Chain A
Amino acid sequence: MESSTPPRRTRAGWTIRGAGALALVAALGGAAPPAGATASQLDLEIEAALAELPPERWAETIRFLLEAHLGTPGVHAVSPGSLWDRDAALDEQAFPVSQGCFLSDGGFGGCAYAPLRFRQGSTVTGLVMLFVDNWNGEDYLVEVRRKRTGTNDASQVMASAASSGASPSHRIATDLTIDHALIDNSLYAYFVRLCRPFFGSQLHGLYLTYSQ
């Protein structure tokens, strides 16, 4: 539902309306974030801002903060059809097309993977996971990794985000502190690793932001 609060034009050119604008401005002390803040500062800013916002405002808030810091971001959504189980076909997962999310309701947890393809020279700027995790036994963990393909070296973690604790609400986990952020397709292949709780959880979405 659209709020009656007038839109606010920010210096980065984004228009944010309603509760999003109020909470964001409050979280940022009444001003747009300073350009050049470190990635870990950005992580904290986004975490603080999102905590005050309803889920439908998360995407525009992340976009606003990334644009203020890093320029217009590209956005790559990982398709649920890209995810394969590490040693089975997501056997214990259900993805009812009438619900549009992965359901973990028993069986095994385990990890899945999905390939990532970015243009050479892009810079990965963020990782965002949207989920419900209502089970205390295990948490979601999502990682962006790169593998140096001509070697036996283990893959390297570029970014990671995780759930924590149990709640029936929609939640979001982000990481904007990206290691090895510059895409080098001549040496590496890129992928997502997703480990999920085996009970009481729903994965609703996964996306990455990047700049060209």
Chain B
Amino acid sequence: MPRRLALLATLSLFVAFGSTPLAGEQLVVGAADFHSRIPEGHVFDSVAGWIGGALTTGGGCLVASAPLPHRAQVKQLILQVYDNHAAQDFRIELKRKRRGNSVVAQTLAGASTSGATTAAREINVVLPDGGHLVSDAFVYYLSTDADCLDGTSHRIHAVRIDYVLPLFADDFESGDTSAWGAPPQTLHHYWVSGIDFKNLQGWPWTIDTTLATFWLENAINSPAPCALARLELPHGATVGGILANLWDVRSDRNLTLSLRRSTMASAVVPAVLTSVSTSGQNGWQLQLSFTVANAVIDNDTYWYWLDACITGGNQVESAQLGVQAVQVFYSPP
């Protein structure tokens, strides 16, 4: 096996010289990935391509998911922003929140703007201690909560997150080659966090950035629409199941989370691929389903989404029902 020997020789060189073989990657979190943590709290200029803060109460506090892969080592943030506000600055932070508990999120890195200028800015933030190792026990996101955007003199163009991925399986770099010859991992996962949900038709909702959790709310006491989040999987992928961290402290209400698809070319009733529900009122719940109908993703016939619906009645108050994270397992095409 000359190829295997060559690879092992390369690996031993890396080990011998104390270097870890790494592949550099960049996650681009564009302006269009950001939104406010409350309704009507942001202004996205869809021609210019930037997002700013709205001058509403609580507006300007923007968030965006940062779907970093498990075992990535985050090295640097590059904040691409605009600040021409004479009196105020704003701050962007990378945070992580462990799933399934109420311990507040940790800030991993961040930086503030300073002063006013009409020029586009680029602020580099190097993570301490050689970088941060990503774990899928957490959800990762960007937040401006520490110092929110104040109107449209504050703008985000993008945040670029530089990270490296280990080229080899666990422990390979340390000389443990027991994983050599193991088949490649076939089950991938797609993350959706509470940060990604929203409600429609003017319904109230809140994203709690300290817990990365979306709270369903109903201030009107009439049937609430279901909250909605993205689901964009590769064409031809096969969905294996979902794992959801949900919150429920209402004995007479539950929250049902469904993965659905709808036919694009006709008005056929949408189909549920799989769903989970909370039960009881014991706070955080890990709900899972690995029974999936119509599991193969067909992106030019259907569009797909996740929805979170209140069941058992209409009225619910903030912090009674919530979604923190949804992990969708799939096999690539």
Partner-B contacts on A (CB < 8 A)? 55-56, 58-59, 62-63, 74-82, 84, 86-101, 111-117, 128, 130, 145-147, 149-152, 154-155, 170, 172, 185-186, 189-193, 204-207, 209
The answer to whether B200 and A93 have CB atoms under 8 Å apart is: yes
Partner-A contacts on B (CB < 8 A)? 26, 28, 30-33, 35, 39-40, 42-50, 54, 80, 82, 118-120, 122, 157-158, 160, 196-202, 205, 225-226, 228-232, 234-235, 258, 260-267, 269-270, 299-307, 309
The answer to whether A86 and B201 have CB atoms under 8 Å apart is: no
The answer to whether B229 and A84 have CB atoms under 8 Å apart is: no
Given the complex of chains A and B, what is the CA–CA distance between A7 and B175 in angstroms?
Answer: 56
The answer to whether A170 and B304 have CB atoms under 8 Å apart is: no
Measured between beta carbons, the chain B residues less than 8 angstroms from A86 are: 43-46
The answer to whether B39 and A154 have CB atoms under 8 Å apart is: no
Instruction: Name which residue of chain A comes closest to B300, CB basis.
Output: A59
The answer to whether B32 and A114 have CB atoms under 8 Å apart is: yes
The answer to whether B40 and A63 have CB atoms under 8 Å apart is: no
The answer to whether B31 and A91 have CB atoms under 8 Å apart is: no
Measured between beta carbons, the chain B residues less than 8 angstroms from A206 are: 303
The answer to whether B31 and A189 have CB atoms under 8 Å apart is: yes
Measured between beta carbons, the chain A residues less than 8 angstroms from B258 are: 97
Measured between beta carbons, the chain A residues less than 8 angstroms from B265 are: 55-56, 58-59, 130, 170, 172, 204-205
Given the complex of chains A and B, what is the CA–CA distance between A191 and B47 in angstroms?
Answer: 10
The answer to whether A95 and B260 have CB atoms under 8 Å apart is: no
Measured between beta carbons, the chain B residues less than 8 angstroms from A151 are: 120, 157
Given the complex of chains A and B, what is the CA–CA distance between A115 and B54 in angstroms?
Answer: 20
Given the complex of chains A and B, what is the CA–CA distance between A75 and B54 in angstroms?
Answer: 35
Query: Closest Cβ of chain A: how far from B110's Cβ, in Å?
Result: 18
Measured between beta carbons, the chain B residues less than 8 angstroms from A97 are: 226, 228, 258, 260, 270, 307, 309
The answer to whether A59 and B301 have CB atoms under 8 Å apart is: yes
Given the complex of chains A and B, what is the CA–CA distance between A8 and B28 in angstroms?
Answer: 43
Measured between beta carbons, the chain B residues less than 8 angstroms from A191 are: 30-32, 46, 49
Given the complex of chains A and B, what is the CA–CA distance between A112 and B301 in angstroms?
Answer: 22
Measured between beta carbons, the chain B residues less than 8 angstroms from A204 are: 262-267, 303
The answer to whether A207 and B232 have CB atoms under 8 Å apart is: no
Instruction: Name which residue of chain B comes closest to A147, CB basis.
Output: B49
Query: Closest Cβ of chain B: how far from A40's Cβ, in Å?
Result: 22
Given the complex of chains A and B, what is the CA–CA distance between A78 and B309 in angstroms?
Answer: 21
The 8 Å CB contact of A91, one of B201, B229, B264, is B201
Given contact pairs A89-B202, A190-B32, A191-B32, enumerate 7 new A-B contacts (beta carbons under 8 Å).
A77-B303, A91-B201, A99-B267, A114-B230, A155-B49, A189-B158, A207-B299
Measured between beta carbons, the chain A residues less than 8 angstroms from B269 are: 98-100
Measured between beta carbons, the chain B residues less than 8 angstroms from A94 are: 200-201, 225
A91 in contact with B299 given A81-B228, A81-B305 (CB within 8 Å): no
